[in-house]
Amino acid sequence: MNQNLNLCQDSQYNIVINKNKTLLSTITAYYISGSTEIEYDMSSYTGATLQVRIKPDAPFVVLQFSTTDGSIVLPAVGGTFQLKKTATELSTVRAGQYFYNMDLHSATYPRRAFLSGEFTIIPNITT
């Protein structure tokens, strides 16, 4: 699944995934300058973390993505990143509606807010 994000609007983006299916989502972040679409440059960031919670202020993390474990892949150049989870990893989370936030990391920005929104896991109809 490939998707584009327009970061000049805001950094709210809702994610919908299937339960018990392997996730490999490619997302391109960009912004508009005048009438030109410019890909967001992530090359200065060395890491990222995305946490999914039942409520935004809930202490328990339902699902986590990170560059440390390879479930987030940042680009060497440009603004296209990937979210990855195996079907086995996603099978441990109940289908439902959650909330997430994603932070980017670098020496300059130890924790830069990047994206947030709803994170919906839809149940499988067939097995």
Q: Which CATH number belongs to the domain containing residue 85 in this structure?
A: 2.60.40
Domain with 36 in it: 2-122
52 belongs to a structural domain: yes
Distance between CA atoms of residues 78 and 16, nearest Å? 24
Model pLDDT, residue 101? 93
Q: Is 127 contained in some domain?
A: no
Specify the pLDDT at position 9: 44
**pLDDT score recorded for residue 109:** 79
Low-confidence residues of the chain: pLDDT under 70 = 1-10, 127
pTM of the model: 0.84
- Cβ-in-10-Å burial (0-12, 13-18, 19+) of 126 comes to exposed
